[in-house]
Amino acid sequence: MADTDIKPTRSELMKLKKRIKLAQSGYNLLKKKRDGLILDFFEILKKAKTIRAELAQEYGKALEKMNLARVIESDLTIKSIAMAVVNRPDVGVKKKNIMGVSVPEIETKGTLQKAFGERGYGIFTSAAVDEAAEGYEKVVEKIIIAAETETALRKLLHEIEKTKRRVNALEFDLIPRLHKSRKFISLRLEEMERENTFRLKRIKGD
* Domains in the chain: boundaries: 23-185
pLDDT, residue 122, reads 59
| Structural contact between residues 138 and 62, judged by C-beta atoms closer than 8 angstroms | yes
CB atoms within 10 A of CB 82: 14
* Residue type present at position 185: I
Q: What is the mean pLDDT of residues 113-127?
A: 65
Q: Which residues pair with 94 in a beta bridge?
A: 105
pLDDT, residue 99, reads 83
DSSP secondary structure letters along 13-37 = HHHHHHHHHHHHHHHHHHHHHHHHH
Q: How do residues 2-14 score in pLDDT, each as one tens digit?
A: 455 668 888 999 9
Which range, 106-110, 129-133, 163-167, is most confident?
A: 163-167
pTM exceeding the 0.85 threshold for the entire prediction: no
Q: Which residues pair with 96 in a beta bridge?
A: 103
CB atoms within 10 A of CB 51: 20
Which range, 6-15, 28-37, 100-109, 136-145, is most confident?
A: 28-37
Select 23-185's CATH number: 3.40.50.2300, 3.40.50.10420, 3.50.50.60, 1.10.287.3240: 1.10.287.3240
Classify residue 172 by its DSSP letter: I
pLDDT, residue 2, reads 47
pLDDT, residue 4, reads 53
Q: Which residues pair with 89 in a beta bridge?
A: none
Q: Is pLDDT of 103 > 90?
A: no
Model confidence at 133, in pLDDT bands (50, 70, 90)? confident
Q: How do residues 40-82 score in pLDDT, each as one tens digit?
A: 999 999 999 999 999 999 999 999 999 999 899 888 888 887 7
Q: Is pLDDT of 93 > 60?
A: yes
Distance CA 106, CA 108 (A): 7
Model confidence at 126, in pLDDT bands (50, 70, 90)? confident
pLDDT, residue 40, reads 94
Nearest to 75 by CA among 23, 26, 132: 132
Q: Is pLDDT of 1 > 50?
A: no
CB atoms within 10 A of CB 164: 15
Angle at 131 (CA atoms; ends 127, 137), nearest 5 degrees: 145
